[in-house]
Amino acid sequence: MPDRELKERAVSELIGAILLVGLVITAMAIVAVLLLSNPPPEEVPQLNILASRNETSKQFFLYHTGGDELKEDQTLIRINDYQETVNHTAIYLKSEDGTIEGSAWSLTKTPWTLGKTLIIPSAETPQSVSIVYRGASSENLILSTSFVPGGGATASMTTGTTGTVTATITTTATTTVPTTTVTTPSTTSPTPTPTPTCGTISGYKWNDLNGDGTRNAGEPGLSGWTIRVAECLSGNCNTLGTPLSTTTNASGYYIFTGLTYQPARWYRVQEILQAGWTATSPSGGYIDIILEPPGSGGQQVKCYESNMNFGNMQVQPPVANFQAIPTSGAAPLQVQFTDISTGNPTQWQWDINNDGIVDYTVQNPLHAYTSVGTYTVKLSVTGPGGSNTLIRTNYISVSAPQSINVYLNANKGAAIQSGGYIQFRVTGLYSYIRHGSSYYSLNSGDIVKMEITNDGTGSIYATSNTINEFRFDNVKLSINGNDKGIKDISSGDLWISNYDSYLSTLTLVVPAQNAWTQLMVNGIWIINGNDGKEIRVMNLQPGSFGIMNLNTRTDVFYNGGASGYQLI
């Protein structure tokens, strides 16, 4: 072969090699660009749901019936094809056992898995709901459900608070899986929280478990509570217009719509407190706010309010408890009852013999048992948290009174202690009492009570059958339980021809003073000469010899019966 042909062939082979290398490099560059500019396609989850609507609670529900789980931060929910998505702070998740989480989905972030339900507030009936999966590099519509009246499949489920609700649905879009076609990555911005509609007031009511006035994690909403809103007349909320009412839904959410905000208006939002609860935030149970046109420069400059929240703490009922001193003794037995209930009760009902009749409504009553017997005592207390009752069976024991004969004669003054009284039943004819200027003719069976209202001097003369004198100033008289007032009874103003059921709490007090004194009890001299001790003779009554004779108008003289005496 000539040299010229050899040279031409060598040059051609070299050029071919260079072109082949160039093609390889170019192909590799194209592949690298494709690989580096597009990430692997995302694996979009698949989902099946049932949707239903509860008109009473203004909520709809999305029930996960199959497919992959969805995480809170990967899920977008749109209603009626609105661009704005539902704020996850308004969504609550219900588990398979029917329990609703105490905090919003945005806080719990519990995955939405098979059997779980999303509870979503909605003031209007939705026409459609779209579920969008938000992946690392793109968003994908995975399901769209339409509410179609009167057609399609019926979806039903049971909620924890409203019973079974139903709605009809049709599925108009199912899982969308991206193709292998290379697309340009898109950048998505966080979906903004939708701005509430002008003229609305909304918020939540929650169970403030620790009573700190702040909603903490785990503190659930309270459903079924009444919230009212009323326009403030004259701008000061001292006078309110006709209120509107609504109730909180399963998550504690409520909303009022269509309120006037232009021109600006003041409103009072108020909860209706339920029995057994106390308000913690706000403590007064109401909030005053103003709605006004945006940009008007007012105090709040908002045409809506979405944070009117109310916290309540459940108050435990009081626990009834009491004590009595003394619990036993001779009639008449005066007993002081003391309330020692816990739980801050504000009302008391005492039934001192458990006969079904309330005897006292004060906290610590003083009662005198006048008849022999054993008594059961009942106390019922009421407070903010409810009521409670305690019954002490056979708690008070009253025995028959003791009787002693007393002879007392001393050169010093004495008086009947204030509050002492005698009580008896008239059994004889022609009996009467003149009480001040009032005259009372007594009938057989009348119950008469005469009480000394201040320490004073006077005189008594009675036998075991008759009462001839009860001469004291400022005597409180009652006949058959009817109060006749406080007036004087003078000598000759009383005659009781016969009586029974005698009761006395009269206590004769001889003050400590050194003077000539004679005191004999049951025929035995206790004092006979000068003595300075204080002497007390309790429950004056006719003695065993049938006489009660008292005179304290000058020195003291007493000859009669008593239940006991004291030297102090």
- Extents of the domains making up the chain: 47-173, 201-314, 322-399, 404-567
In this predicted structure, what is the pLDDT of residue 42? 60
* 230: pLDDT strictly greater than 90: yes
Residue 518 or 275, more confident: 518
- The predicted model gives 299-323 an average pLDDT of 87
Task: Identify whether the C-beta of residue 160 lies closer than 8 Å to the C-beta of residue 252.
Answer: no
**What pLDDT is attached to residue 100?**
87
| Total residues belonging to the chain | 568
H-run or E-run covering 536? strand 535-538
Residue 396 CB coordination number (10 Å): 22
What pLDDT, on a 0 to 100 scale, did the predictor assign at position 3? 53
* Burial of 52 per CB tally in 10 Å (0-12, 13-18, 19+): buried
- The closest of 368, 371, 412, 405 to 537, measured between CA atoms, is 405
Q: pLDDT digits over 435-477, tens only? A: 999 999 999 999 999 999 987 799 999 999 999 999 999 999 9
Q: Give the separation between CA 19 and CA 431, rounded to whole angstroms.
A: 148
What's the CA angle centered on 22, arms 19 and 25, to 5 degrees?
A: 155
Beta bridge partners of 412: none
Gap between the Cα atoms of 493 and 437, Å rounded: 10
pLDDT in the model for residue 189: 38
Burial 117-156 (b: 16+ CB within 10 A, else e): bbbbbbeeebebbbbbbbbeebebbbbbbbbeeeeeeebe
pLDDT score recorded for residue 22: 52
Name the burial class of residue 331, with classes exposed (0-12), middle (13-18) and buried (19+) by CB atoms within 10 angstroms of its CB. Answer: middle
- 544: tokens are 């065993």
Domains 201-314 and 322-399 share a fold: yes
In this predicted structure, which of 17-21, 343-347, 350-354, 484-488 has the lowest mean pLDDT? 17-21
| pLDDT band of 165, cuts 50, 70, 90 | very low
* Alpha carbon distances (Å) from 548 to 505, 538, 540, 557: 14, 13, 8, 11
Q: pLDDT band at 192, cuts 50/70/90? A: very low
Backbone angles phi, psi at 11, to 5 degrees: -65, -40
> If you average pLDDT over residues 171-192, what whole number do you get?
35
What is the pLDDT of the chain when averaged over all its residues?
82
Question: What's the CA gap between 565 and 507, in Å, rounded?
Answer: 9
Whether 93 contacts 105, CB under 8 Å: yes
**Range 341-347 average pLDDT:** 93
pLDDT for 297: 54
Residues 6+ positions from 494 with CB-CB distance below 8 Å = 432, 433, 434, 467, 468, 469, 470
At the topology level, CATH places domain 201-314 in: Immunoglobulin-like (2.60.40)
Distance spanning both ends of the chain, measured CA to CA: 160
Which pLDDT does position 334 carry in this prediction? 85
Q: Would you call 8 helix, strand, or coil by DSSP?
A: helix
Between residues 493 and 74, the one the model is more confident about: 493
C-alpha 271, offset from chain centre: 13
| pTM summary value | 0.41
The single-letter DSSP state of residue 100 is B
Residues in CB range of 437: below 8 A, 6 or more apart = 487
Helices (H), 262-306: none
How many Cβ atoms are within 10 Å of 544's Cβ, its own excluded?
Answer: 12
pLDDT tops 80 at residue 498: yes
C-alpha Rg value of the chain to the nearest Å: 46
> Which residue type is seen at 64?
H
Q: Residue 80 burial (CB < 10 Å; 0-12/13-18/19+)?
A: middle
Residue range 41-93, pLDDT digits in tens: 567 788 778 777 776 667 888 888 878 888 998 898 888 766 678 889 889 88
Query: In this predicted structure, what is the pLDDT of residue 8?
Result: 54
Residue 442, pLDDT score: 97
Question: What is the SS3 assignment for 117?
Answer: strand
**Which option is the CATH number for 322-399: 2.60.40.10, 2.30.110.10, 3.30.465.10, 1.20.1090.10?**
2.60.40.10
Q: State the pLDDT confidence band at 275, using cuts at 50, 70 and 90.
A: confident
From the number of C-beta atoms within 10 Å of its C-beta (0-12, 13-18, 19+), residue 249 rates as buried
* Percent share of the chain, pLDDT over 90: 55
Measured at the alpha carbon of residue 443, what is the angle toward residues 437 and 447, in degrees to the nearest 5?
85
For range 10-38, the mean pLDDT: 49
Q: Average of pLDDT values for 475-491?
A: 96
> What pLDDT digit, counting tens, does each position of 126-146 carry?
777 888 888 776 778 888 776
- Give the pLDDT of residue 296: 56
- The residue with tokens 């339409």 is 146
pLDDT at residue 282 is higher than 90: yes
Segment (H or E) for 266: strand 265-271
Phi (first) and psi of residue 23, to 5 degrees: -65, -40
For residue 323, report the phi and psi dihedrals to the nearest 5 degrees.
-140, 160
Mean pLDDT value of segment 478-482 = 95
Task: For residues 421-437, give the mean pLDDT.
Answer: 96
